[in-house]
Amino acid sequence: MSESRTALVTGGGSGIGRSIALRLAEDGFAVAVLDLNGESAEQVAEEARQKGHTAAAFGNVDVSDRGQADEAVRRVRETLGGPVLVLVNNAGVARTESFLKISDDSWNRIMAVNLNGPFYFCQAVVPDMKEAGWGRIVNISSSSAQSGQQYMTHYVASKAGLIGFTKALALELGPAGITVNTIPPGFVDTPMLRASEERGLLGGTVDHHAELTPVRRPGRPEDIAAACSFLVSEEAGYITGQVIGVNGGRNT
Ligand code: NAD
């Protein structure tokens, strides 16, 4: 794998995105850590650089804004000096609200971040991938889109949309040497999960749910990063349009 291949990870400042960014840097990609939170994006990029890898932070970028997405991708190319050949659409927001209380604003925000964001970033980087005749896109959806999840209609609809988006785009981009897959994580110990636990939204503690999980532990961000590392590798070139669950056996 050439050192010059650039990978862009959205939401790379925290949780799953942070682990993916660090893992891809370890794998030899020049990594763009993009996040709404500038401070955390910089921390992750610095962590990768401390280990001798190539990484740069792109903070204060809202993936739901088309102009910011295009501008960020332009800066990524300029800073890391190459086309973006790997894209991980990981940035996401979750809310728990009973169906009749979901406002238009709340619905639209969830869709804008979780579904429009991947749409904008794919449109921004696919020309690079087409020109190179090689590309890898991984969309981080959610196991809740496989099982359903009460009080998260907007979130689940956005993530189910991302699964359909992945399947359709994979068919279109396959002939161009670009694979598009989705990982729907389930029950991964991140700030997002702990925030839900603290607010009493999990229906029990993380430990309680770990007992109900076939592998008897919560997922780690590194579990998702490992699957992502494989999907963006050279040898995963015959895998596209797939839903690769990483959930300890909670969904099959
Ligand atoms: P997290 O909250 O720890 O991290 C999400 C990151 O995305 C944060 O750094 C945040 O600043 C960033 N972000 C949010 N909105 C953004 C925006 N508009 N523009 C740019 N960056 C933005 O969450 P996590 O648990 O690591 O989740 C990562 C992804 O995995 C999300 O898409 C989430 O829906 C999905 N997921 C997580 C779990 C889980 O169990 N943790 C389960 C299923 C799906």
Per residue in 47-79, pLDDT tens?
999 999 999 999 999 999 999 999 999 999 999
Q: Which pLDDT belongs to residue 203? A: 86
Q: How many CA atoms lie within 13 A of 46 on its CB side?
A: 7
Give residue 35 CA to ligand 1 midpoint distance, Å. 10
**CATH topology for the 6-187+221-236 domain:** Rossmann fold (3.40.50)
Q: Which pLDDT belongs to residue 205? A: 94
CB atoms within 10 A of CB 104: 7
Kindly name the residue from 120, 151, 155, 238 that is annotated as catalytic.
155
Tokens 């076939």, located at residue: 214
Q: Whose CA is nearest to atom 44 of ligand 1?
A: 142
Q: Which pLDDT belongs to residue 202? A: 87
* Atom of ligand 1 minimally distant from the CA of 40: 9
Report helix, strand or coil for 139: strand
Q: pTM here? A: 0.97
Judge whether 155 counts as a catalytic residue: yes
Q: Which pLDDT belongs to residue 2? A: 44
Q: Which pLDDT belongs to residue 160? A: 98
Q: Which pLDDT belongs to residue 3? A: 45
Which segments of the chain have a pLDDT < 70?
1-4
Q: Buried (b) or exposed (e) across 12-48, using 16+ Cβ within 10 A?
A: bbbbbbbbbbbbbbebebbbbbbbbbeebbbbbbebb
Domain ranges of the chain: 6-187+221-236
Cβ-Cβ contacts under 8 Å for 23 (sequence gap 6 or more): 222, 225, 226, 228, 229
